[in-house]
Amino acid sequence: MTANSSDRLMFGLISDTHSHTDPDAWAEAFHGATAIFHAGDIGHQNVLDTLNEIAPTIAVKGNIDGGDLRFLPEVEQRTFARKKIVMLHIAGSPKRPNKHTRRLLVHEQPDILLVGHSHIPTVQRVDHGCLWINPGAAGTHGFHPERVAMRLFINTFNGELSLERVCFGPRVPQQNHT
Which pLDDT score is estimated for 3?
47
In the structure, what pLDDT confidence band is assigned to residue 174 with cuts at 50, 70 and 90?
Answer: low
Q: What's the average model confidence in pLDDT over 124-151?
A: 94
Which pLDDT score is estimated for 5?
57
Q: Which residues contact 2 (CB under 8 A, 6 or more apart)?
A: 157
Which pLDDT score is estimated for 173?
61
Q: Which of these, 2, 22, 143, 3, lies nearest to 12 by C-alpha position?
A: 22
Q: What is the pLDDT of residues 46-65, one digit of tens each?
A: 999 999 999 999 999 999 99
**DSSP of 30-59:** TTT-SEEEE-S---SHHHHHHHHHHS-EEE
Q: Domain segments of the chain: what residues?
A: 9-169
Q: How many residues does the chain have?
A: 178
Is the pLDDT reported for residue 147 higher than 60?
Answer: yes
Q: What is the pLDDT of residues 63-116, one digit of tens each?
A: 999 999 999 999 999 999 999 999 999 999 999 999 999 999 999 999 999 999
The backbone torsions φ and ψ at residue 46, rounded to the nearest 5 degrees and listed phi first, read -60, -25
Q: Which of these, 154, 159, 171, lies nearest to 35 by C-alpha position?
A: 154
Q: What is the pLDDT of residues 108-125, one digit of tens each?
A: 999 999 999 999 999 999
Q: What's the average model confidence in pLDDT over 170-178?
A: 64
Q: What's the average model confidence in pLDDT over 154-160?
A: 95
Superfamily of domain 9-169: Metallo-dependent phosphatases (3.60.21.10)
In the structure, what pLDDT confidence band is assigned to residue 128 with cuts at 50, 70 and 90?
Answer: confident
